[in-house]
Amino acid sequence: MEYNAKTIEKQWQEYWVQNRSFEPSEDFSREKKYILSMFPFPSGRLHMGHVRNYTLSDAFARYYRQQDFNVLHPIGFDSFGMPAENAAIKNGSHPKKWTYDNIDYMKGEFKSLGFSFSKERELATSDELYTKFEQGFIIDMYEKGLLYRKKGFLNWCPSCHTVLANEQVIEGSCWRCDTGVVKKDMNQYYFKITKYADELLDDLHKLENGWPKQVLTMQENWIGKSNGLEFQLRFDDDSLAKLEKKFDGFDVFTTRPDTIYGVSYAALAPEHEIVTYMIENSLLDNETVIKIKEMKNASSIDRQKEKSGISLNLNVTHPLTNKKVPLWVANFVLMDYGSGAVMAVPAHDERDFDFAKKYDLPINAVIKPFESELESSKAYTETGELFNSEIFSGLNSKEAQSKIIDYFQEKKIGKRTTNYRLKDWGVSRQRYWGAPIPFVHCDSCGIVMEKKENLPIALPDDIEITGEGNPLEKHQTWKHCKCPKCGEDAIRETDTMDTFVESSWYFLRFCASPKNWEKEAFSKEQIKYWMGVDHYIGGIEHAILHLLYARFFTKVFRDLGYLEFDEPFEKLLTQGMVLKDGAKMSKSKGNTVDPDAIIEKYGADTARLFILFAAPPTQELEWNDSAVEGAYKFLKRFYDRSSHVNKISTIPQIEHATLSKEEKFARKKVYEALARAEDVYTQKYTFNTMIAGVMEAMNALNLQSNEKVWSEGYWVLTSIMEPVIPHICWEISSRCFSLKNLTPQSVLEEVFVEESIILGVSINGKSRCEIEVAPDASKESILEAAKEKAQKWLEGKTLVKEILVPKKLVNLVIKD
């Protein structure tokens, strides 16, 4: 029989649409599985990474459907974002048209790959309905104080007149025009994600069994919790006078309070408010001001190259010794961590040491190793024994840390504090193609939330996109409105939201029944049934931001009363990248493979089979044209051999004992494959080994010609393979089994019963020969057989030990 992928695939794709085969049921009494793959940005065409992602989720979804679960396997498009605007700048196409044209094309690609997505729940985050509910949530969060507006230092491209996200700054320059990026002080909206820092960190433990360790660690490091001492460094009298008593001092944070007696200077970030005050009030000479401005304006790369600083000619007093400590501005002190100021202990911190060497500041050692001498040529950053530390001398670092913190707390001059690397999430973008932030600026009322009944605040279509500045701000009429509170003329907020906001709750929206799509974002009942996501599959590149933000939204929604759980994704599978010629596929490298071309040449089943067979999902996948060809050959053979199968509608009953050796072996291989498949879908996700098992079974079936064994084999194998290569399996199954075999299959234990078993015989751990014994042979008889067979190696030696590992091997230990 000739395998014609195109015909078969078209036919079943139509069948599935007409039969609504992949729509979840609203019967909430059934057991459910929620299988989700990270939705794509509608860039135009699918790439192989997408194909890998959705082939994986599709395999899970189809498997659980076979197992009679109510399966939700939705898809959507993360459709706001910069590329749509960039396309507009480049080709003059409207972002909306560009986006929705791409979506249409990609939906066609999904269909041609046979992905079993629910059609009725498809959405795009740029849909006005989606914006409407999102803006509602934003208002809720603003009311709860979880969204606020403040000035912040942002990456600003002076040429594009826009704020850039950190990821858009490439080596200190704008990713698009290569202009040097500067920091600009601007008003921005922030989500108060830091309020949840502790919970986001602690709850990682709840995910230990379902998430890759790597992702958990990355999130842990990103949150970056550290414990230590916070205290105030106070100015001495002269310095207070110089500062016109505007500042008493400033806070510093340290994780090493045990080194406090080694403090020999203190340093402020160039952006620190005291520094700003001194510049604004001409308290510094010109040279110093120029130096500080240089530090501020340096790109982050330059700033890291070499430590530099300048003295402020001010002194603070050491909190314990009351000695004078000089105050400097230093480029290595970061404004956005801790308080933007540090106590410096050059003897025990590498940065402080480098700086002290450069500017000839004192280096006072106060910690020494327990069992060796202190070297003065570098900073000793380990823990050790304290000295020159008054009453704390002689203590070890660990004890000293808590005692010194206690001492500060007793004296009320400092306190135990926790610091986080995680910062509040800046969400406003000066961009057109995003969800508008639903606020208005009113001269008399300030920032006012839009009324929920006025939502969505939709984007205007008639805009001009030039790449410079924010098109919404330049629009003549859109931003003018009435204040929802006082009714006077007001101005709409023209900032739009970061696209990560949309992807932080889309998995909840999918739970909503399309019947109520217009009415509500989702209902508590629907969420309760479908969530959490049983398998979430996507790229490792989202290990931090997307997954952290989605976890944050889940906790916020819980606190807003919309749902009742803490974590959205129970099991996370992070797939490896798709490579060609050893490098990630990318247009710029010219090493891409177009999925459409593969489907055209071989069909979707070949692409899916290759992708799942070539490597386990978490590993990188190296594209290999001849291995694709190999997958295609297997499908041809698989299709061709189905001519050995009888048309039946129940699995054949076979009298195992009456079969030939080859027939028995074939059945054993078939059921081995089935047993392995169960494990793969539910535990290990190593589809490559499952497919190998099926190939072994096929090879074994080929060695015999019993029609019943063939039929039984195909009954089982097409069931195992349907999630991987659905079209060909539905075709064979409908022709031979009236689709009756795409159901749970049970492993027949009887086929594993062996008439004899083969044991390896090794001498001193080295395998030498084999023996064949009856399964119930006694230990003595097995050892006897082994010794007889291995006689050759035993001659002239002394046998010192005999080990029998049941069903595996015999090891004979000998001596000369």
Partner RNA sequence: GCGGAUGUGGUGAAAUUGGUAUACACGCCAGACUUAGGAUCUGGUGCCGUAAGGUGUGGAGGUUCAAGUCCUCUCAUCCGCACCA
**CA–CA dist 231, 236 (Å, integer):** 16
Among 469, 702, 789, 797, binds RNA (CB under 7 A): 702
Is the separation of the CB atoms in 125 and 546 below 8 Å?
Answer: no
Q: What share of the chain is helix, strand, coil (3-state, %, to 5)?
A: 40, 20, 40
Q: Does 218 bind RNA (CB under 7 A)?
A: yes
Q: Which of 50, 111, 303, 318 binds RNA (CB under 7 A)?
A: 303
165 binds RNA (CB under 7 A): no
Least distance (Å) between residue 334 CB and RNA = 4
Tokens of 754: 């062996």
Minimum Å gap between C-beta 538 and RNA is 14
The encoded tokens of residue 465 equal: 């996109």
Of 326, 368, 311, nearest to 238 by C-alpha is 326
Instruction: Please tell me whether residue 217 binds RNA under the rule CB under 7 A.
Output: yes
- The candidate with the shortest Cα–Cα distance to 110, out of 34, 42, 30, 173, is 42
> Which positions from 320 through 359 interact with RNA, judged by CB under 7 A?
331-335, 337-338, 340, 342-343, 349, 351
- Per CB under 7 A, the segment of 135-143, 478-486, 694-702, 740-748 that binds RNA is 694-702
Supply 253's token pair. 């944070």
Binding window for RNA (CB under 7 A); candidates: 106-114, 220-228, 392-400, 481-489: 220-228
Q: How long a stretch of residues is the chain?
A: 816
> 561 CB contacts (<8 Å, ≥6 apart)?
none
CB of 703 to RNA, least distance (A): 8
The C-alpha angle with vertex 733 and arms to 728 and 737, in degrees rounded to 5, equals 165
Q: Nearest distance from residue 617's CB to RNA, in Å?
A: 9
How many Cβ atoms are within 10 Å of 170's Cβ, its own excluded? Answer: 12
**What's the rounded Cα separation, in Å, for the pair 640 and 649?**
20
Residue 539, interface with RNA (CB under 7 A)? no
Least distance from C-beta 196 to RNA, angstroms? 18
DSSP state of 314: E
44 contributes a contact to RNA by CB under 7 A: no
Indicate the helix (H) or strand (E) that contains 559.
helix 545-559
Part of the chain binding RNA (CB under 7 A), chosen from 222-230, 407-415, 457-465, 643-651: 222-230
| Cα 511 to Cα 520: distance, rounded to the nearest angstrom | 11
Q: What are the counts of helices (DSSP H) followed by strands (DSSP E) for the chain?
A: 26, 34
Locus of tokens 């890998």: 52
689 belongs to the binding site for RNA (CB under 7 A): yes
Contacting RNA within 230-289 (CB under 7 A): 253-256, 269
CB of 573 to RNA, least distance (A): 14
Does the protein bind RNA through residue 460 (CB under 7 A)?
Answer: no
Q: Tokens standing for 368?
A: 């020494």
Contacts to RNA from residues 774-803, by CB under 7 A:
792, 801, 803
Least gap, CB of 168 to RNA (angstroms) = 13
Q: Which is nearer to RNA, 135 or 331 (CB)?
A: 331
805 binds RNA (CB under 7 A): yes
Interacting residue with RNA among 201, 364, 696, 734 (CB under 7 A): 696
Does residue 609 bind RNA (CB under 7 A)? no
Of 26-34, 178-186, 212-220, 728-736: span binding RNA (CB under 7 A): 212-220
We find the least distance from the C-beta atom of residue 687 to RNA, in angstroms, to be 9
**Phi first, then psi: what are they for 678, rounded to 5°?**
-55, -45
3-state per-residue secondary structure call for 493-550: CCCEECCCCHHHCHHHHCCCCHHHCCCCCCCHHHHHHHCCECEEEEEHHHCCHHHHHH
User: Interface with RNA by CB under 7 A: which range of 17-25, 124-132, 493-501, 631-639?
Assistant: 631-639
Per CB under 7 A, 762 contacts RNA: yes
60-119: contacts with RNA (CB under 7 A): none
Q: What is the size of the binding site for RNA (CB under 7 A)?
A: 80
Structure tokens at 415: 């306190």
- Does residue 383 bind RNA (CB under 7 A)? no
Find the helix packing angle between 625-641 and 707-721, rounded to 10°: 140
547 near RNA (CB under 7 A): no
CA atoms of 108 and 116, how far apart (whole Å) = 13
Q: Does residue 606 touch RNA according to CB under 7 A?
A: no
Nearer to RNA, 11 or 689 (CB): 689
The C-alpha atoms of residue 534 and residue 592 are separated, in whole angstroms, by 32
* 224 binding RNA? (CB under 7 A): yes
Count of C-beta atoms within a 10 Å radius of residue 19: 9
Identified binder of RNA from the candidate list 4, 25, 221, 682, rule CB under 7 A = 221
Contact with RNA (CB under 7 A) among 106, 243, 427, 809: 809
Check: CB of residue 703 under 8 Å from CB of residue 670: no
Hey, what amino acid is at 141? M
* Near RNA in 414-453, by CB under 7 A: 419, 421
Taking CB under 7 A as the binding criterion, the range among 111-119, 193-201, 403-411, 760-768 that sits at the site for RNA is 760-768
